[in-house]
Structure 1
Amino acid sequence: MEIKEVIKHCKSGNQIAQGVLFNLHYQQMYNLSMRILSNHHDVEDALIISFTKVFNSIQQFEYRGDNSLKKWIKTIVINESIRHLNTKNKIRYNESLLEYETNTDYAADIIDIDIEQAFFIIEALPAGYRMVFNLFAIEGYSHKEIAELLNISESTSKSQLRKARMNIIERINKAKKNGN
């Protein structure tokens, strides 16, 4: 079944089509929400609310090409994941931009990190760092877009990204030093 057809049936309330839509996007949206929330139970809660919002407001959705539906759902999931974090008061932003001593030789060390280690390191970041890092580095949002999404200044977004990067580098170096 084509995506346009699935959307049409979802708009008419067809639960089978809703199941198809859910199954098509669940895993990717789960991974997206997990990068923000870093807790399986919180992710499940956020996804239930997100997909409920998708199905309740699909009448207003306007198809504009193959990626339009995915982008729309992704926006809902990101917003709901952020809302979920905010309700738990887990996000703290430090607006001061501390100067870090940067070492440009760290790239060689990063090459040896496997994807599971990288995911673990990113998941262990404080919520503010993790969210900005994921939105910028993985989802491709600009600092302006992140600032609007999180209701922070662009400089805070930049500061959080820089601190996240430095934190990641420190953790990689520590793991290398410990032989992990």
Structure 2
Amino acid sequence: MEHDLLAELQKGNAFAQKRVYDRYANRLFRLCLRYLRNEEDARDVLMGGFLKFFKNVHRVEYRGDSTFEPYLKALMVNEALQFLRKKRESWVALDDTGPDEPSSDL
């Protein structure tokens, strides 16, 4: 069954994409939420992860009886960690832009 679904995904079949999304989205959202602790960020990462999966599904190879879940979990964890790294870098960059000494204008 997963093999047939993968073949349809690789053809760009929107119904197959919806089936995969409907099957895994809730579990993957909870996974993203555990890492990000913010529902809006978790939704953004989830959507970005699914878009990346569907865009690159031609690279996925079917390996027997396995499902997409381990692949999607790894993808979402990586996306969440990348999101956190970028967020941390933006905070560090903001911290570096302030003056080193208090202003004498006060």
Q: State the percentage of identical aligned residues.
A: 27
- Closer, same or farther: CA 35–11 of 1 in aligned 2, 3 Å: same
Instruction: Give the total of aligned pairs.
Output: 89
CA distance in 1, matches of 2:37, 2:64: 31
The corresponding residue for 1:44 is: 43
> C-alpha displacement at 1:77, in angstroms?
0.3
TM-score calculated relative to the size of structure 2: 0.78
Structure 2 unaligned runs (5+)?
90-106
- The answer for the alignment partner of 1:65 in structure 2 is 64
5+ residue gaps in structure 1?
A: 91-180
Paired letter, 1:77 = M
Write out per-residue CA displacement over residues 30-83 of structure 1, whole angstroms, 9 at most, x where no aligned residue.
Answer: 111111011100001101110011001110101113335211111110000011
Spell out the pairing of 1:5-20 with structure 2 (5 A cutoff): 5-20=4-19
Instruction: Indicate the structure whose relative CO is greater, using CA pairs within 8 Å and at least 6 residues apart.
Output: 2
What RMSD over aligned residues (CA atoms) do the two structures have, in Å? 1.4
Q: Within 5 A, what are the aligned runs for 1:10-159?
A: 10-89=9-88
Letter in 1 for 2:4: E
Corresponding residue of 2:101: none
Q: Following the alignment from structure 1 to structure 2, what is the Cα–Cα distance between the partners of residues 76 and 13?
A: 19
List structure 1 segments (4+ residues) > 6 angstroms apart after TM superposition: none
One-letter code aligned to 1:45: D
1:5 Cα deviation after fit: 1.4
